[in-house]
Structure 1
Amino acid sequence: MKSRYFRPLLVEREQVVSVGRIDICFTDLNAHGPDERHPAVVEVKVLRSYGSGKSPVSEQTNVFALIRGMGQAKSYRVKKQAKLGALACFDLRKVKASIVEHEAVQKATERYYDDRMATVMLPLYGIAEDAQDEIAAVG
């Protein structure tokens, strides 16, 4: 297969820019113009049920993290002129209730998002039984 089918992409973590620190920045090394240089930037957030000291994390704290991440992803996308700005949320909460339907998150979506923004919820489980319980309860 010819190499023309694959773009050489540089993937950098923790890239510092004037408006903050991009968690993951994709750079197309063979871009033909500044508007093609960055296919995507990704902001990463973790939603939790408990903090590092075993203290409970409130829903409001997770909502705030999600909203803050949305704003960060949008500002990084604009700063880098990226084609896509994404917020990846690793959901470690014990009960993974839909946080994106929260009223404050919906308002932030209207404010920050357009057709070049996305939120990806990535459910993670401490043990397989937690995943099985959640899936069994839904289906």
Structure 2
Amino acid sequence: MASSNRGIQIGSAWFQKKINLRPQHRGVHLVTEEILRQIPELCQFSVGLCHIQILHTSASLALNESWDPDVRDDMEMMLNKIVPEGMPYRHSCEGPDDMVSLKLGLMEALLILALGTKLFFSVAKGFFQYSNCEIFK
């Protein structure tokens, strides 16, 4: 594998890394900087795919507009309207967190992003973690 100061140019390479996102209260949280800080290797690739998966069942991931913080509030509002807390769900073994499984089904647990000559984020795009239940009770 040959490399230059512009990144990996010839051959192929891959790496796998487990990162930890800090626990968040229920809501929509911008975590772009936290992810990029933990995966500096992304900047070395000129082209490729980035797979990011969240393993906890009470949270989801999304790529969305990050310039206007109202987008986060709107997403939280719509998720709570589509899957409200306190409904008589058939899945009821988790108590107040029964709706988490439904929210996870609507959102993503895995993102696959194309890496290009510039990092795949602009000023107006970012990674969001959707915490679907209140973990700090």
Q: TM-score, normalised by structure 2?
A: 0.29
- Structure with the bigger percentage of helix: 1
- Comparing both chains, which one has the higher relative contact order based on Cα–Cα distances under 8 Å and sequence gaps of 6 or more? 2
